[in-house]
A and B are shown apart, each in its own frame.
Chain A
Amino acid sequence: MNVTVMQLTARNLLGRRRAMFLVILLLLLLGLAMLTRWASDASPNASSVLANGFALGTVLPLMGLLVATGVIGAEIDDGSIVYMLAKPLRRREILFSKLAVGFAAVFIFAVLPTMAAVVIAGDEGGQLMLAYGVSAVLAAIAYTAIFVTLGIVTRNAVVFGLLYALLWETVLGGYVPGIRAVSVRQWALSVAERMLGSQANGWAVTSEVGMTTGLVMLGLVTVAAVYLGVRRLRTLTLNSIE
């Protein structure tokens, strides 16, 4: 980890218009949480549907993508990454610094709002908030690693990332049940399901996989993504073709 790299990354990420989108998404989630509370009398069930479908299913992957393209995609695109890569720093160190900033941003702009949304929309003794919080943290780690690496691998990172995050998990998952088991969201949800125990079913917190499988897969995917990212960053070629 390198403090200067982290500072530069954070400034890149939060400056300009990107921060605006992050804040809009966050406010939208909280606004919806209030609407849900008003419409469903603070039932944990509706709150869980909101957190599962909108917060974990849409906001978190979108936020991951916005942040990932912010921490490394933009720099690769305008070519300024060469100045950072030319410094006597390990590529690993650069990537880890960027990942740390990216995760922090996703945590602040997506994970905390998810927990807040659950509390606002309706909760029972903070159980639901805690369960979704842990799930969101796990999913945030995996999404950050995957999307940052994707940003290094391809210039179309946003489109491919979205195809995976939304089309793969929601549309294809609806038709082919097996696909549902191969998804960051389901793996992360498995932990929430276990944490809620017997109440999970009643609150519609169900996952396609067990907790052990979920955690192992999350870990595997995250490590693989980081490893691939470091490798690609070592031999990064810049070209100007759009």
Chain B
Amino acid sequence: MADNKAAPDAAATPEQSQGVIHDIGFRHYDGPRLGRGWIVRSLLAETFRGVFGFGRPARAKIMPWILVGILLAPPLIFALIAVLLSLDALPMSYTAYLPGMQFVVSLFVASRAPYCVSRDLRHGVMPLYLSRPIRRNDYVLAKFAGLALAMFAVLAAAETLLFVGALLAKLPLGAQITGYLQGLVVAVLLSLVLAAIGLVIAAVTPRRGLGVAAIITVLVVLSGFAAIVAVLLTRAGSASLGNYLGSLDPYALVDGIAVSWFGVDSAFGRQADLGLAGGVAYAVGATAIVAGGIALLMRRCKKVGIA
């Protein structure tokens, strides 16, 4: 504390030095502070922008935008096909498009979810966040909302392109609007469910590179496993059980919700009609995944040290 002896003025104002370890004589800020809500908002905005690589170097933009490009290309082709062959509907329905592109969607969430949470956990900066007026659960919710919103933006963009393509191809308007709205609901459900799954896995695998591989492994293996189980059980004569177990795959789960709520054709070709029970069961399943995912994330963030 040699500095203190050299500057006796600092000791003369004890009420100012409260909560300050070293008062080296800078002017204090006593004005209004933006507070907790603003921090959450900033964290959410930063997460959302970071998912697309905005505000980050060019090489961080390559990966997300390649995947977004792959996801947005087919709608244009569909519109072209509809025009050239003068069809009266799109070659692929709004609700079937996203489950049909599930691999690209999985890759997107797998490559972006670790970005959202792994770095903070790996570099031990969580205590720095928590030293601000922000609660632990605010952090989790802001990260979840940021990723889910970003996912929704991408998925909704694909649906919108489908819709615009359908309008340009002069397809009957009424059916297109209903389809578009149903597609948007699928996009909302998918982004919530996938963001929850992705963030939980990313949070337990903070090592770089491992998170991506882990998320994609879980999603691809779940899809493959669920599809095979569903086919086997259907062939063995228990189609409804096959449908339920087939929904271990999050895409099939959301597809099941779309089928039972809107009465559209299943993107997975599942024939069994589960009726009301199915719709309720799927909705409960999706809610459980999202709520459970957030709860697990909150638990994970309870024990975050500097190490």
Write the residues of chain A forming the contact surface with B, with a CB cutoff of 8 angstroms: 16-18, 21, 24-25, 28, 32, 35-36, 38-40, 50, 54, 58, 62, 65-66, 69, 73-74, 77-78, 155-159, 162-163, 166-167, 170-171, 241-242
Contacts and interface: CB of A to CB of B under 8 A. Distances in A.
Closest 5 interchain pairs by CB? A39-B232, A77-B208, A158-B212, A69-B209, A73-B209
B232 A35 contact: yes
Nearest to A58: B224
Given A21-B217, A69-B213, A158-B216, A241 B59 contact: yes
Given A69-B210, A74-B207, A78-B208, A159 B217 contact: no
Contact of A74 (B209, B224, B225, B228): B209
A28 B225 contact: yes
Contact of A241 (B60, B107, B210): B60
Contact of A50 (B103, B115, B217, B228): B228
A104 to B, nearest CB: 19
B170 interface: no
Given A21-B213, A39-B236, A159-B111, A242 B103 contact: no
Nearest to B67: A159
B214 interface: yes
Contacts, number: 95
A interface: dominant SS: helix
B57 A162 contact: no
B125 interface: no
Nearest to A18: B210
B224 A156 contact: no
Most A CB within 10 A of own CB, among B56, B104, B110, B221:
B221
Interface residues of B, number: 36
8 contacts: A24-B217, A155-B209, A158-B110, A158-B209, A167-B70, A170-B103, A241-B60, A242-B56
Given A62-B217, A163-B107, A242-B119, A36 B232 contact: yes
A40 B235 CA distance: 9
B207 A21 contact: no
Nearest to A158: B212
Nearest to A66: B213
B188 interface: no
Given A28-B221, A36-B232, A242-B60, A77 B209 contact: yes
Contacts of A62: 213, 216-217, 220-221
Nearest to B234: A39
A158 B114 CA distance: 13
B232 to A, nearest CB: 4
Most B CB within 10 A of own CB, among A38, A74, A162:
A162
B247 interface: no
Contacts of B60: 241-242
A74 B208 contact: yes
Nearest to A17: B205
Nearest to B222: A28
Interface string B63-80: 100010010000000000
B229 interface: yes
Contacts of A39: 232-233, 235-236
Contacts of A167: 70, 103-104, 107
Contacts of B229: 32, 35
Given A62-B217, A241-B57, A159 B212 contact: yes
